[in-house]
Amino acid sequence: MSDTADLYQQARDVAARAYAPYSGFRVGAVVIADDGRIFTGCNVENAAYGSGICAEGNAISNAAAAGVRKVDTVIIACLDGGECYPCGNCRQIMREFSVDTVVVQDGRGSLRTHDFAAILPHSFGPDSLQ
Ligand code: THU
């Protein structure tokens, strides 16, 4: 099994633990930090809908809590059909940690690899404040 396929399977495994009783849309994310460490996250919803947290944000928060400040790659899986491109808010969270590459599954379960700049062009980031 290739690295990417193995990490995608890890994203599916964590998606299976998503807490998504309201949408029924389970998402998992795997983060590869610049030092090679791997972190995972799933979406965690809330009865106050706006308080739910996405899988990608949770995975990056887990990495940040372990000291990571640069993320190389995020791999995203969803178990309940369709594509799982990251939402706008998660793209902005990725921007903060200088993500280079995002791997998403398409509607048929195949993987697509994107340069981050292609999915969040002309972005606002830490350097924009200097
Ligand atoms: N969701 C994610 O976890 N990541 C995304 O990038 C898009 C959406 C979650 C949020 C919510 O729990 C469910 O999917 C339906 O929107």
Cross-strand bridge partners of residue 75: 30, 103
Ligand 1, atom nearest to 26 Cα: 14
Alpha carbons 45 and 119: distance in angstroms, whole number = 25
pLDDT above 50: residue 70: yes
Catalytic residue numbers?
56
Alpha carbons 17 and 9: distance in angstroms, whole number = 13
Mean pLDDT of 61-67: 98
Task: Give pLDDT, residue 106.
Answer: 87
Spatial CB neighbours of 83, under 8 Å, sequence gap ≥ 6: 104, 105, 106, 107
Helix (H) or strand (E) holding 8: helix 3-15
Closest residue (by CA) to atom 14 of ligand 1? 25
- Residue-averaged pLDDT of the chain: 96
Q: Does residue 53's CB lie within 6 angstroms of at least one atom of ligand 1? A: no
Alpha carbons 67 and 12: distance in angstroms, whole number = 25
Q: What pTM does this model have? A: 0.96
Q: Per-residue pLDDT tens for 74-107?
A: 999 999 988 999 999 999 999 999 999 999 998 8
